[in-house]
A and B are shown apart, each in its own frame.
Chain A
Amino acid sequence: MQKSLHIDPNKCTGCLQCEMACSWENYRSFTTAKSRIKVFSFHEAGRFVPYTCTQCDEAWCMTACPVDAIKLDPVTGAKIVLDPTCVGCKVCTIACPFGTINYVAQSGKVQKCDLCDGAPACAKACPTAAITYVDADWTGLEKMRQWAGKTDTNPATV
Chain B
Amino acid sequence: MAWTKNVLRVNLETGTCTTEPLNQTWAQDYLGQRGLATKYLVSEIDPKVDPLSPQNKLIFVTGPLTGTMAATGGRYSVVTKGPLTGAIACSNSGGYFGAELKFAGWDMVIFEGASPKPVYLLLMDGKAELVDASHLWGKTVWETEETIKKQHQDPQLRVASIGRAGENGVLYAAIVNDLHRAAGRSGVGAVMGSKNLKAFAVRGTRTDAYQVADPEGFFKAVDAGKAVLAANGVTGQGLPTYGTQVLMNVINELGALPTRNHQDIQFEGANNIGGEAMHLKRPTDGKANLVTNGACFGCTIACGRISRMDPGHFSVKDKPQYHGASGGVEYEAAWALGAANGVSDLEALTYANFLCNEDGFDPISFGATVGAAMELYELGLLTKEEVGFELPFGSTEAMVKLAELTAKGEGFGKLIGLGSKRLCTKYGRPDLSMTVKSQEFPAYDGRGLQGMGLAYATSNRGACHLRGYMVSPEVLGIPVKMEPQATEGKPAMLKAFQDLTAVVDSAGICLFTTFAWGLQDIQPQIQAACEGDWSEERLLLVGERIWNLEREFNLSAGLTCKDDNLPPRLMKEPAKTGPQKGAVSKLDIMLPEYYQLRGWDKQGVPTPETRTRLGV
Contact = CB atoms under 8 A, between A and B. Distances in A.
Interface of A: 13-17, 20-21, 23-24, 27-34, 43-48, 106, 125, 127-128
Nearest to B215: A28
A15 B325 contact: no
A45 B295 contact: no
A106 B205 CA distance: 10
Contacts of B326: 43-44
A14 B294 contact: yes
A20 B294 contact: no
Contacts of B68: 20, 30
A99 B307 CA distance: 31
B296 interface: yes
Nearest to A21: B69
Contacts of B208: 29
Interface of B: 67-69, 71, 96, 99, 103, 156, 179, 203-209, 211, 215, 226, 230, 240, 291-300, 302, 304, 306-308, 324-326
A43 B325 contact: yes
Contact of B324 (A24, A43, A128): A43
A71 to B, nearest CB: 25
9 nearest A-B residue pairs (beta carbon): A44-B324, A46-B325, A46-B291, A29-B207, A15-B295, A13-B302, A127-B300, A13-B295, A33-B205
Contact of B293 (A13, A34, A106, A125): A13
A28 B304 CA distance: 29
A30 B69 contact: yes
A23 B207 CA distance: 9
A32 B297 CA distance: 10
B69 A127 contact: no
B103 A33 contact: yes
Q: Is the interface of B mostly helix, strand, loop or mixed?
A: loop
A16 B297 contact: yes
Given A47-B292, A127-B71, 8 more contacts: A15-B302, A30-B67, A31-B207, A31-B209, A32-B99, A44-B326, A45-B324, A127-B230
Contacts of A125: 69
B98 to A, nearest CB: 12
A15 B205 contact: no
A49 B324 CA distance: 17
A34 B230 contact: no
22 contacts: A13-B293, A13-B302, A14-B295, A15-B296, A16-B96, A17-B69, A17-B300, A20-B298, A21-B69, A28-B207, A29-B207, A29-B211, A30-B67, A31-B207, A32-B99, A33-B103, A33-B204, A34-B207, A43-B325, A46-B325, A106-B207, A128-B302
Contacts of A23: 207
A146 B296 CA distance: 29
A121 to B, nearest CB: 10
Contact of B294 (A32, A33, A48): A48
B568 to A, nearest CB: 44
B515 to A, nearest CB: 16
B179 A43 contact: yes
Contacts of B206: 29, 31
Contacts of B179: 43
A36 to B, nearest CB: 14
B156 to A, nearest CB: 7
Contacts of B307: 46
Contact of B325 (A17, A24, A30, A45): A45
Contacts of A13: 240, 292-295, 299, 302, 304
B586 to A, nearest CB: 42
Nearest to A47: B292
A33 B68 CA distance: 13
Nearest to B156: A33
A46 B308 contact: yes
Contacts of A30: 67-69, 99, 103
Contacts of B295: 13-15
A128 to B, nearest CB: 8
A31 B204 contact: yes
Contacts of A45: 291, 324-325
A13 B324 CA distance: 18
Contacts of B67: 30
Contacts of A106: 207
Contacts of A14: 294-295
Given A15-B295, A16-B297, A24-B69, A31 B103 contact: yes
Given A13-B302, A16-B297, A46 B292 contact: yes
A14 B103 CA distance: 18
A45 B307 CA distance: 10
A43 to B, nearest CB: 7
Contacts of B324: 43-45
A15 B299 contact: yes
Contacts of B302: 13, 15, 127-128
Nearest to A105: B205
Nearest to B325: A46
A13 B302 CA distance: 6
